[in-house]
Structure 1
Amino acid sequence: MQLHLEHTLLHMEVRAHVAQQVFTLELADDFWFPDVEPVLQMLREQFGVEAVVRECVSEDPVTYLLDSIDELPEWYDEVLRWIGKHVTATGPWVQVKAWGLSDVLRIPTAAGDVYFKALSQASNDPGALPFLFAHEPRFLQRASADRPGEVPAPIAIDESRRWLLLPDLGTPLGQETDVVLWIDAVRNHARLQRSYAGDPDRLLDYSCADRRLAVLDTALDRFLEPNKLTRRLSPDDLAKLPDRAKQLREAIAELAEIGVPETLLHGDLHPRNLAVRDGKVLAFDWTDAALAHPFLDLVTFVEKRSPLSADPRVRDAYLAEWEEYATPSELRRAVHLAEELGALYQTITYLHLIDHVTGPSRTSLLRGGDVWTQKLLT
């Protein structure tokens, strides 16, 4: 039974080889179920139980199916052998994240922490977009080789198994209060994007999804059909879709005419996906990497919780890198259009990912899709 207290109660099932045990833990109300490290830490400290999350089976109440550290699935043996070929651990590893899109472990080494990431597999449907969370290892290996120091260089990858080993990249940009770091972050990101502007085929070879404006226009057709997100709209909102689609098509055409080239897009460039180490900022979590209009990255970058992300000095520093393609006024107009189209872009992303997960992961993505759909309609 779930008890309604001033904090969220998390009911967690542990299935070990002896018997089933159930533990109840108390965490903050804003806890997000994929971030499993604090759950496992509390389980260890309060009950002396060492375990890993196999899956989250419910969000209300939050319920995990766990594996005892002494009875781990064979998958972990394979993972730990692979990690051991590339780094030497100096202490116990920790599960950091687990949900339908990825599983993340942290491993201490003499050179600092490293992170193992296992990504979800690609869709079996050849007509679908490349599954965005499946190709990050290939992208980082290739991009870091020809743009050293501009994207994180993996310690190792296993492309066929979608495994990735990365060094600790530092602290999130969102925690920084020096506007100079924020300016450097967007300026360097723009320069990285521009460096690929004349080489779209290279990005496609790196497994970036083709999500250029023409593709986005076609994807709009799918959104106008009954789907998992539009079925959740009210009748009034559904009635807005045809007119809104016409406006979005006009925005696509206008943005294309401004002339900023389509190139590398991070796809989820928010301040917690940028890390600062020794004064240098690098974007990580390139699971959504695509060939698209670069200004769409500003849509996720600017957020209420990080006031500096909306600082005009930061925006202007980013736009200054694109002045060879358009006038300052045209670039500001392009940002406005990208903000409008960014909601469509993200909605299509969520609509795609929903098809590839189940359970609480699917429910979480549906909520995210609902948020972007509402932004699209306003």
Structure 2
Amino acid sequence: MTSAASDAVRVRFLISLADGTWVEFADQAVSATQLSVSGLQVYVRELSGLDAIVLHDAEALFRQPSPTVRMEALTSVQGLPTATCITDLPPHARPWQQPGWFTQAAAWLLGAVHASGDTATGPVRQISTYDLACVLYVETAAGGAYLKAGDGSREAAVTTRLAALQPELTVPVLRAALSRDWLATRAGGQRLSEVAELNPWQEAVTHLAAIHREVDPSVLRGLGCPEFPFRRLVEELEALVKSEALTRVWDQDEATRTRLREALPTIRQAHGRILALDLPERTVHGDAQPMNALVGADGVRWFDWSEAGVAHPFLDIGWLLAWVSLRPSLPVRTTHPQLVETLWEDYLRALGTAKTGAAWQDARLLALAHRVLAYEQRFRSWEGTVSGARPYVPYYLKLLIKLAEEA
């Protein structure tokens, strides 16, 4: 099978079979529209007749000039040319990027579903896989269940603890294996980003404020989650401007360094206005954007606590408002053009903070600065499966500079 698309990439497929051998399909033309778990699964099924799961992060691999896509067959087909000598897993391969993991994890998820009194009504499917996590899903009589395996982010531990403390604010947990960072949860409904009605958005920020008010930061400290002292944020950003890491690790040119340096006074002023509120650092979600909130029959629930920590609460609401403000085509914004301002005011009321000189744009700017610094700290020495690839920092740095220049 080949693709005639002009954006096709020549790909080598290696597919692990149940008997320990591998089948190779070299020089296959795969288009950009097929660079997803489901797209590659369809491609391989049409190519070989095999049902297979993706072992390796296809999107990261496709940044390479001649990528090898590794997959694992879940079925068998007679007559495929196989070889026993191919064992080249990618460097630093995560457990879910190795043959055999899917079968074990799928059985664990089905066991969690059964133990909860629910029944699977379909096969376990792979939803996504990359260096930081893998997600599986199974349809059930009660509406579905997910398994997420993380790369040591403590998400399973944090979600389990928060579900016990604030069960109405996060997704129901079916089972957790903390030593492996495996988490099985019930499906929770529709993503907030897809919802056009205003009420669920208001409920989401109210719940976010409730987390900030009611979950003692000592809970996350006890789980080893990171802390981000807000008072030092600008100081740390200034250090990054001067650091060799900006060019050596993150491949940013001197023009970017200059623009970031020139943006510092604007960022410092916004920082000062928020500091003047004298709010304590609290439990934060860490990635509080609408793709991580679910709207179901029992209300809005936050999930994906992989970046939870202790920090200024405005870093959560600031990131949510940044995400929303940069997407004018969101369904809810077409019917509620003042959405950002409405959510900001609702959040302040729910947190119990009177309106002051700090604006939502200040929170947005500082939230982006925080994301630059948090990811720079986390991924500076990170080793992934694609040489030289480190996530997130360049994207958020570019966005921070742009918004500071527009302020």
TM-score by length of 1: 0.81
Instruction: Work out the CA distance in 2 between the residues paired with 1:232 and 1:173.
Output: 35
- Provide structure 2 residue ranges, at least 5 long, that are not aligned to the other structure: 77-97, 115-119
Match of 1:19 in 2: 23
> Does 264-273 or 71-80 show the bigger shift?
71-80
Q: Quick one: percent identity of the two aligned structures?
A: 22
Instruction: Work out the CA distance in 2 between the residues paired with 1:73 and 1:65.
Output: 10
Contact 2:155–2:305 (Cα < 8 Å) also in 1:
yes
SS of structure 1 residue aligned to 2:123: coil
Match of 1:54 in 2: 55
Match of 1:97 in 2: 128
Instruction: Work out the CA distance in 1 between the residues paired with 2:63 and 2:311.
Output: 34
Match of 2:281 in 1: 262
Cα gap change, 1:278 to 1:159, in 2 (>3 Å): same
Which one-letter code corresponds to 1:358 in the other structure? G
CA drift at 1:249:
4.2
Instruction: Work out the CA distance in 2 between the residues paired with 1:270 and 1:110.
Output: 29
Instruction: Work out the CA distance in 1 between the residues paired with 2:266 and 2:340.
Output: 28
Match of 1:353 in 2: 379
Question: CA-to-partner distance for each residue in 1:257-294, whole Å, 9 max, x for gaps?
Answer: 21333323222222222211126121211111121122
CA drift at 1:91:
2.8
Contact 1:274–1:283 (Cα < 8 Å) also in 2:
yes
Which one-letter code corresponds to 1:37 in the other structure? S
Instruction: Work out the CA distance in 1 between the residues paired with 2:397 and 2:339.
Output: 29
Contact 1:104–1:116 (Cα < 8 Å) also in 2:
yes
Match of 1:201 in 2: 218
Task: Tell me which of 195, 200, 206 is aligned to 1:176.
Answer: 195
Structure-to-structure mapping, 1:1-378, within 5 angstroms = 5=5, 8=8, 11=11, 13-16=13-16, 17=21, 19-22=23-26, 24=28, 29=33, 33=35, 35-44=36-45, 47-56=48-57, 57-60=61-64, 63-69=68-74, 73-88=99-114, 89-121=120-152, 134-196=153-215, 199-217=216-234, 219-220=236-237, 222-224=239-241, 225-228=243-246, 232-245=251-264, 247-278=266-297, 280-301=299-320, 302=324, 303-304=326-327, 305-306=329-330, 308=332, 311-313=337-339, 315-323=341-349, 326-330=353-357, 333-351=358-376, 352-353=378-379, 355-360=381-386, 363=389, 365=391, 368-377=392-401, 378=405
> Does 286-295 or 243-252 show the bigger shift?
243-252
Contact 1:209–1:290 (Cα < 8 Å) also in 2:
yes
Instruction: Work out the CA distance in 1 between the residues paired with 2:388 and 2:148.
Output: 20
Match of 2:84 in 1: none
Instruction: Work out the CA distance in 1 between the residues paired with 2:247 and 2:361.
Output: 25
Match of 2:85 in 1: none
TM-score by length of 2: 0.76
CA drift at 1:306:
2.1
Contact 1:186–1:314 (Cα < 8 Å) also in 2:
no
Instruction: Work out the CA distance in 1 between the residues paired with 2:299 and 2:26.
Output: 45
Instruction: Work out the CA distance in 2 between the residues paired with 1:118 and 1:272.
Output: 18
SS of structure 1 residue aligned to 2:112: coil
CA drift at 1:97:
0.7
Contact 1:182–1:314 (Cα < 8 Å) also in 2:
no
Instruction: Work out the CA distance in 2 between the residues paired with 1:7 and 1:240.
Output: 34
Contact 1:50–1:69 (Cα < 8 Å) also in 2:
yes
Which one-letter code corresponds to 2:330 in the other structure? S
Contact 1:193–1:294 (Cα < 8 Å) also in 2:
yes
Question: CA-to-partner distance for each residue in 1:288-324, whole Å, 9 max, x for gaps?
Answer: 1121122222343223142636843454344344347
Give RMSD over aligned pairs.
3.2
Instruction: Work out the CA distance in 2 between the residues paired with 1:3 and 1:12.
Output: 14
Instruction: Work out the CA distance in 2 between the residues paired with 1:101 and 1:173.
Output: 23
Instruction: Work out the CA distance in 2 between the residues paired with 1:290 and 1:21.
Output: 44
CA drift at 1:141:
0.7
Instruction: Work out the CA distance in 2 between the residues paired with 1:292 and 1:239.
Output: 28
Instruction: Work out the CA distance in 2 between the residues paired with 1:354 and 1:51.
Output: 34
- Provide structure 1 residue ranges, at least 5 long, that are not aligned to the other structure: 122-133
Instruction: Work out the CA distance in 2 between the residues paired with 1:267 and 1:275.
Output: 16
CA drift at 1:155:
0.7
> Does 165-174 or 264-273 show the bigger shift?
264-273
Contact 1:13–1:21 (Cα < 8 Å) also in 2:
yes
Which one-letter code corresponds to 1:13 in the other structure? F
Which one-letter code corresponds to 1:328 in the other structure? K
CA drift at 1:82:
2.7
